[in-house]
A and B are shown apart, each in its own frame.
Chain A
């Protein structure tokens, strides 16, 4: 079985990549140099689909024993699996594809990683350099297409430097604000001879991400926090990326500040802590959104204040002085004006604030108010005696029977929101989904990448019927690799989130959102060689879940849920977070 030392454990201060150098054999071709560079970086898994222009690199992997290549069914699956691997392990996931359609099929996954700052390295084959620009077979301008959706991309044009290009791409994906990088590999460059050994992963000399925030602004931000009556911390995905969850927890507890997480920040702060107000945004909890709307001090950490979080920016935290910690200066005051811009690494800046703050804010009354909102607006759904089955119940049950470090993947849509809302999150790197890009089909390949990154942890993917149909073919990979994971399809025979919007904002005109016929997913799973299960009533939910968990390999539960169930609370797009709808009637009143 796979042994990963990284699997979602807190990162050590120093990576062990240097030690790997000695084990890399002598390179003779550009392709071998690419492989050596990946080995130097400590890469364990490659997710890809082979093809003409990338064949030299695949050939160089033939005798490699250090890395495992996982052949995916589709390149989009390769990118998502690498993305999930990056989220769970904290280090770049690597995906590979050939030129032309192979490269274009990666795009959705690369764009997804770019939106969520997930570290991935994409290696794409390219036609030989002499053919580039001539519309050769399977040629496409991969560099041109990926420029807007990568942190950095490069066209390798020399066998002597191609390994270094890959090493640089890995380092850039990993350091600073993480993100996707891509190296385009023309076939002649990878085939050509070279004796040059690639170096270790290093960023260019000119690349220097900020580390500590301006001390004067830290002092001011700390003083303002100490004087605040109604402070909140808004923890974003950057907290997890910076491995700052522990610092944030200590900080919040020491100073008694309530914590809200964004969708990517979910898991940064444990939801079973009394200070947790859980999740904010369009489908966040009422209490979190009320706290954001009523706070007088908001410390945003590693968040880009996305529109699904803020709603109308004019009504977002209208009374608050905003302190914003981010490693990317371009995020400061981009969407929400920062009164205290704190540019730096989240872990270090939280430490700086901790050193600078003179006293804890006196906010016991505020905490009580927040608690009262929790009582007043709990996350809730109506539970019938047995049928129809409620999706929220399935999520809650699964959470009940699994260990706390269980990794949850999700696609995009209603099922994703139910999973997000009704799972109790306690650990970072356990919530693996597509946030910014909203990529349906993310769940199945993500579950594969997550399982390989953390083989000791249980993995469940919640998916929708629409979302599942987009990447269900990746089941073949889960079966072939014998990955012990479960996919729960919350099946309402519709693109449910679109239908919910049609009900709310398009007078119930269900255009293209309902499926007149969809496959029986349990039987589909069996056809792939996975375990197929079906559940239609609440009574059998727990037993079905246990059957799936006990099965040694991938299992799919087709959960036939109440098609009329919708996601609440909901803040209509561009709305005021304080005016969330708890049900359909509320939404109509807006």
Chain B
């Protein structure tokens, strides 16, 4: 009963678009959301129930106290990334979503607590990675480093020799580079964008 056409012998559709094996990609999504209880749970729940592979998620308020910005790093195929964006955008408290370019400004912060037996060597590594010592005592030294994932991985590796007692990483926070907008309020005539508010604040000074 199968007609000729874009099919193979088994009647399976031959369509490069559909057949293509999509490699996993890393994508950085920035979402502007209403700053209200439950939104973080809603977004994280959405990613888990639709089986999107999430690497990190950070959230915090913006210049506008009613809005918060989430930076979400996901590992997915291209169709998966597109679908994640659409599902995210569909939620009512999510005002806009933008996938950031590779050149976006991205930073992660790590706080590492190492054994303090050899403070000079610890300090040398902290200087090398442009870090900051937050707390130093006779037994432990706690350091903060910011940077991209690679730099933080390297720094953590370097600290291992002293014995890392504990560490915490924040996940990525990111903004688009230069003039390019990150996720913004879509209807500026109804609510000012973050950029507009920021400009106003500057001019007030």
Contact = CB atoms under 8 A, between A and B. Distances in A.
Contacts of A509: none
Nearest to B79: A333
Contact of A314 (B3, B13, B46, B92): B13
Given A147-B42, A205-B191, A206-B186, A315 B11 contact: yes
Interface in A195-216: 204-208
B2 interface: yes
A576 interface: yes
A205 B187 contact: yes
Interface string A577-589: 0110000000000
Contacts of B11: 315, 318, 576, 578
Interface in A269-320: 290, 293-294, 296, 314-316, 318-319
Contact of A290 (B1, B41, B83, B90): B1
Interface string B87-110: 101111101000000000000000
B42 A319 contact: no
B15 interface: yes
A395 to B, nearest CB: 28
Interface in A97-143: 143
A328 interface: yes
A334 B83 CA distance: 7
A434 to B, nearest CB: 21
A358 interface: no
A332 B85 CA distance: 12
A143 B38 CA distance: 8
A147 B38 contact: yes
Contacts of B91: 152
- In terms of DSSP, what is the predominant structure of the interface of chain A? loop
Contacts of B83: 330, 333-334
A290 B89 CA distance: 37
A33 B61 CA distance: 31
B184 to A, nearest CB: 11
A151 interface: yes
A293 B7 CA distance: 11
A579 to B, nearest CB: 7
Interface in B112-134: none
A235 interface: no
A337 interface: yes
Contacts of B190: 205-206
A579 B93 CA distance: 44
B17 interface: yes
Contacts of A152: 91-93
Interface in B54-108: 79, 82-83, 86-87, 89-93, 95
A328 B87 CA distance: 10
A287 B46 CA distance: 38
A529 to B, nearest CB: 44
B90 A328 contact: yes
Interface string B1-20: 11101110001110101100
Nearest to A580: B1
Given A330-B87, A337-B17, A578-B1, A207 B12 contact: no
B37 A293 contact: no
A337 B5 CA distance: 17
B95 A206 contact: yes
B13 A318 contact: yes
Contacts of A329: 86, 89-90
Given A205-B187, A578-B11, A318 B86 contact: no
B49 interface: yes
A172 interface: yes
A148 interface: yes
Contacts of B13: 314-316, 318-319
A337 B92 contact: no
B6 A319 contact: yes
Contact of B45 (A147, A155, A296): A147
A207 B92 contact: yes
B90 A330 contact: yes
A171 to B, nearest CB: 11
Given A208-B186, A329-B86, A148 B49 contact: yes
Contacts of B186: 206, 208
A318 B6 contact: yes
B12 A318 contact: yes
A578 B2 contact: yes
B82 to A, nearest CB: 8
B175 interface: no
B179 to A, nearest CB: 24
Given A148-B46, A319-B13, 13 more contacts: A148-B45, A152-B92, A205-B187, A294-B3, A314-B18, A318-B2, A318-B5, A318-B11, A329-B89, A330-B89, A332-B86, A333-B79, A578-B11
Q: Across the A-B interface, give the 8 residue pairs with the lowest CB-CB distance, nearest first.
A: A318-B13, A319-B5, A330-B86, A152-B92, A205-B190, A206-B95, A314-B12, A578-B1
16 contacts: A147-B41, A152-B91, A152-B92, A205-B190, A206-B190, A206-B191, A290-B1, A293-B2, A315-B13, A318-B7, A318-B11, A319-B7, A329-B90, A330-B83, A333-B79, A337-B15
